[in-house]
Amino acid sequence: MAERSIIISARAPKAIGPYAQAIRYGDLLFVSGMIPLDPKTGEPFYGSFEDQATLVLENLKAVIEDAGFNLRHVLKTTVYLKDLADFTAFNNVYARYFGNILPARETVQAAALPRNSRIEISAICGK
């Protein structure tokens, strides 16, 4: 049976609730939803949508890398947007990170996200 371990990355914001940034279970990694928080202060970042999306993906990447994985290991992402009108802008940012990798993904509009964020992304990785 695989061992379960909690992943904590100092390069990404701390969890804002009673959950782990990520859980590693054998060769799988489950990364909790990331919102646009400054990794040093933990404070929300309310810049442009593109800058928020970039920050979320950078934070996600930091957790993934600190767990011993990389973006090529991402099998699936779940994306929550406050407004689907940001879908095209999001795809442009997302393509910079995953354009040649193409993990499975769903993108849904959410009525509200934590800390009044416009975006949240979670991921599942495997080796």
Which tens digits make up the pLDDT trace of 2-18? 899 999 999 999 999 99
Tens of pLDDT, residue by residue over 76-117, are 999 999 999 999 999 999 999 999 999 999 999 999 999 999
CA separation, residue 38 to residues 13, 50, 61 (Å):
6, 15, 14
Tens of pLDDT, residue by residue over 22-33, are 999 999 999 999
Instruction: Match domain 4-126 to its CATH number in 3.30.565.10, 3.30.1330.40, 3.30.470.10, 2.20.25.90.
Output: 3.30.1330.40
Place of tokens 């994306």: 79
CA dist., res. 27 & res. 78, Å (int): 19
Sorted by where each begins, the domain ranges of the chain are 4-126
- What three-state secondary structure class fits 47? coil
The structure tokens listed for 3 are 């061992």
The structure tokens listed for 118 are 């416009």
Q: How confident is the model at residue 62 (pLDDT cuts 50, 70, 90)?
A: very high
